[in-house]
Amino acid sequence: MYKKTIKYVDYDGNEREEEYYFNLSKVEIMEMNFSKDGNLVEYLEKIKSTVDIPKLAEFFKELIMRSYGEKSLDGKSFRKKVNGHLLVEDFMETEAFTELYMELATNADAASAFVNGIIPSDKSAIPSKTSFTNNVVN
């Protein structure tokens, strides 16, 4: 889980500083891995090597959208939906979202910290598409 304090100016001109939470479960990482032809790391490397800035910015937006949520007070759950409503939709309408998005798109260190913070600490437990398929088929 990644906790990020974001400073921004709201639509009334008030300066704000608030904490936001981002997290991806092993299941969510596996689903993303599958959506990128089974190799999220290769997908990112390809974007970096081709200097495809629009793709990279699009990827960061996807990461924010998939990882934003609210941690329960007891720490047992991380909610991304309430009554069928995606919480990220409210977040994306704030200037806090704009600040985070711009920071990730323009600051490699911040982007790296964000990515490393939202993924589970036990990265070895996340199967690749090939290992998952081999275990199911064989």
pLDDT tens per residue across span 75-133: 999 999 999 999 999 999 999 999 999 998 888 889 889 988 988 776 555 555 444 43
Surface-to-core class of residue 24, CB atoms within 10 Å of its CB (0-12 exposed, 13-18 middle, 19+ buried): buried
Residues 6+ apart with CB under 8 A from 30: 126, 127, 132
Distance in angstroms (rounded) separating the CA atoms of residues 122 and 59: 22
> Where does the pLDDT of residue 38 fall: very low under 50, low under 70, confident under 90, or very high at 90 and above?
low
46 pLDDT higher than 80: no
Residue-range domain boundaries for the chain: 2-137
pTM: 0.82
Residue owning tokens 């996807």: 62
Higher pLDDT, 47 or 38: 47
